[in-house]
Structure 1
Amino acid sequence: MLSTVRKFGRVMRAVSTRDPDQRVRRLYQLPDPSTQFADRSTRYINIGYWADERTTVDGAGEAVAALLADAARFEPGQDILDLGCGYGDQDFLWLKEKSPRVIHALDVTPHQIDGARRRAAEEGVADRLRFQVGTATELPFEDGTFDRVVALDAAQHFNTRTRFFREAFRVLRPGGMIGTVDTIPLDETTPRRTFRATRFSLYRFSVPDENWYDRAGYARRLGAAGFAQASVTSVREHTWEPWFRYWSGIARHPSAHPELPPEVLETVAREWRDTEQIKRELDLLDYVVAVAVKPR
C-alpha cells in the first residue's frame, strides 16, 4: 500500500510540473528498469516494427531502429546525432551495422544516459558513442556539424518539435538529412484530453499542444524550417496495430505466457485493464517515418 501511495505521489509531481522537459524527465524516470525490461534483452523504449506474428519485443524494437537508419540513408563514416536516445540501444545497433564515424546521443533523462555510458565503456566504444544529458531544442553543437540528425519515437515530446526542426537544420551539413519515427494524431482536431487510458498517459501529459498535428502538418513544418524533399509516411499497420495485438493478448490470457516474469504480467494487467478503451484511443493515433534534406 505504501509503495502504491509513493508511486502515485511521483506521478502527480511529474504531471504537475510546468517545465515540459522536467515533466518528460520525471515521467520516464517512473518505471523501474528491472521490471520494465524483465522480459527482454534490450532496452528499447518504442512501439516497435512488427513484421509478422513471430516478431518479439526485442525484434520489434531493433526493426524500427533499422527502419529509421535506412530511411535516413545512414552510410559508413558519417557523423550522426541521435536525440531522445533513451538507453541508446539503437546507437549500439547503428554503430555495429552502419559503421558511422561517431554518434552523439542526447536525452533529458539522466539515469538513461548513465546506463548508456556504462554500456559504451564496458564495450570499449565510448570514443564513438558519446552520450550526454541534453535537450533537442538547444543543441550544444556548432553549425554544420552532422551528416544525419535523427529521433526515434521521441520528437513528440520535444518542446517544441518545430524548435527541434530548426536546431536540426542548423547543425546539419548541406545535403544532410533529418529522420524521425514519431507518434502523431491521424486527425489533428482530436483533443489530447481524449486519451484517458493509463497506457496513453504520456500523450495526455507530455506532448506539447504545438506538436499535435497530422502528416500534412508535419511536412509543412519541415519545409518551414528550411528542409526540402520532406516525406512523412505512415507505418501504423506494422506498429500500433500489432503492438496492440501482442500486449492485449497477454492481458487477456496471462496464463498462456508462463515465460514472462510475474512482475511483467502484473504491469501488463495494471496498464491494460481496459483493452477496449486502449483500442479506441489507439485508433486515433498515427505512427510515421519522416525524412527531409537540408539543401546544398
Structure 2
Amino acid sequence: MFENLKIAGRAIRTVFTADPITRVRRFYEIQSPDVEFAARRTHYMNVGYWSDGVTDIDTAADALADKLADAAGLKPDDTVLDVGFGYGDQDFKWLRERQVAKVYGLNITPHHVEAAQRRAQEEGLADRTDFRLGSATELPFGDNTFDRVVALESAFHFYPRSAFFAEALRVLRPGGVLATADIIPVSGDVVRAAIQSGPLSFVKFSIPKENWHDRDTYRQQLVEAGFANPEVRSIKEQTWEGWRAYMAERTNDPAFRAVVKPAVRKSMAAHWKNQDLMKRELAQLDYVIAVGHKR
C-alpha cells in the first residue's frame, strides 16, 4: 500500500509540474525500476516491434532498436548521438552488434544517465560511450560532429521537437542521417486532451501540444529544418497492439507475480483494466520511423 501511495504521489506531482522539461524527467521517475523491469532481461522503455511470433516485450524492444538502426544506416566506425537514450540498452546492442565506433548519449533524467554510465564501466565500454545530462533542443556538441543522430521513442517529449530537428542537422556531418522512432496522432483532428486511458496518460501529460501533429507535418518540419528527402513511415500495425496485449496480461505472468508485491500487482491490473477504451484510443495514435539526410 505504501509503495502505491508513493507512486500516486509522484504521478500527481508530475501532472501538476508546469515546466515541460521537468515534467518529462519526473514522468520517468514515477514507477520504481524494480517494478517496471520485474521479470525482464532488458531495461528498454519502448513499446517494441511485434512481428509474427514475438511474445515478450524484451524481444520486441530489441527488434524496434534494430529497426531504428537499419533506418539510420548504422555501420562500423560511425560516431552516433542517441538523444533520450533511457537506460541505453539499444546503445550497448549497437556497440556489440553494429560495431559503431562510439555512442554519445544525452538524457534529462539523472538516474538514467547514472545507470548507463555504470553499465559502460561494468562492460568495459567506457571508452566507447559518453552518457551525459543535457537537453535535446540545446545539444552540447559542435557542428559537424556525428555520422548519425537517433532518438528511440523519445522525440515526442522534446520541447519542441522542431528545435531538436534543427540541432540534429547542425551536429550532423554532411551526409549524416537523423532517424527517429516516434509517437504522433494519426491525424491533426485527434484531441490529445481527450485521451482517458491510464496507461496512455503520458500522451496527455508529457507530449507538448507543439509536437501533436500528423505524418505530413512531421515530414514538413524535417524539410524546414534542412533535411533532404525526409521519409516518415508508419509502423503502427507492428507496435501498439502487441504492446497492449502483452501489458494487459503482464500481472498474470507467474514470473512477474513471484517478484512483485500483491498490492502493486492489484494496482497495475486496475490501471490496465479498461482494454476496450485503450483499443479505441490506440487507434488514434500512429507510430512512425522517420529519416532525414543532411546534404
TM-based fold match above 0.5 = yes
CA–CA distance in 2 between the matches of 1:268 and 1:10?
15
Quick one: structure 1 residues 267 and 53, their matched pair in 2 at CA, closer, same or farther if it must change by over 3 Å?
Answer: farther
Q: What is the deviation of 1:265?
A: 4.3
Aligned AA (1:103)? V
Aligned AA (2:225)? A
Quick one: structure 1 residues 258 and 172, their matched pair in 2 at CA, closer, same or farther if it must change by over 3 Å?
Answer: same
- Determine helix, strand or coil for the equivalent of 1:259: helix
What is aligned with 1:243?
243
What is aligned with 1:287?
287
Does structure 1 residue 259 correspond to structure 2 residue 235?
no
- Determine helix, strand or coil for the equivalent of 1:48: coil
Does structure 1 residue 219 correspond to structure 2 residue 219?
yes
Equivalent positions of 1:82-101 (< 5 A) are 82-101=82-101
What is aligned with 2:65?
65
Q: What is the deviation of 1:6?
A: 3.5
- Determine helix, strand or coil for the equivalent of 1:77: coil
Equivalent pair of 1:250/1:268 in contact (CA under 8 Å):
no
What is aligned with 1:80?
80
Aligned AA (1:246)? Y
Q: What is the deviation of 1:9?
A: 2.5
| Structure-2-length-normalised TM-score | 0.95
Equivalent pair of 1:137/1:160 in contact (CA under 8 Å):
yes
Q: CA RMSD in A?
A: 1.5
Equivalent pair of 2:227/2:293 in contact (CA under 8 Å):
yes
Regions of 4+ moved over 6 Å: none
Quick one: structure 1 residues 85 and 163, their matched pair in 2 at CA, closer, same or farther if it must change by over 3 Å?
Answer: same
Runs of at least 5 residues in structure 1 that lack an aligned partner in the other structure: none
- Determine helix, strand or coil for the equivalent of 1:139: coil
**Could you report, residue by residue, the CA deviation over 1:115-158 in whole angstroms, capped at 9, with x for unpaired residues?**
11100000110111111111110110000000100000000000
Equivalent pair of 2:143/2:170 in contact (CA under 8 Å):
yes
Q: What is the deviation of 1:245?
A: 2.3
Equivalent pair of 1:80/1:100 in contact (CA under 8 Å):
yes
What is aligned with 2:140?
140
Equivalent positions of 1:149-168 (< 5 A) are 149-168=149-168
Structure 1 stretch 148-157 or stretch 240-249: which is displaced more?
Answer: 240-249
CA–CA distance in 1 between the matches of 2:239 and 2:109?
25
| Structure-1-length-normalised TM-score | 0.94
Runs of at least 5 residues in structure 2 that lack an aligned partner in the other structure: none
Equivalent pair of 1:247/1:268 in contact (CA under 8 Å):
no
Aligned AA (1:211)? N
CA–CA distance in 2 between the matches of 1:290 and 1:58?
23
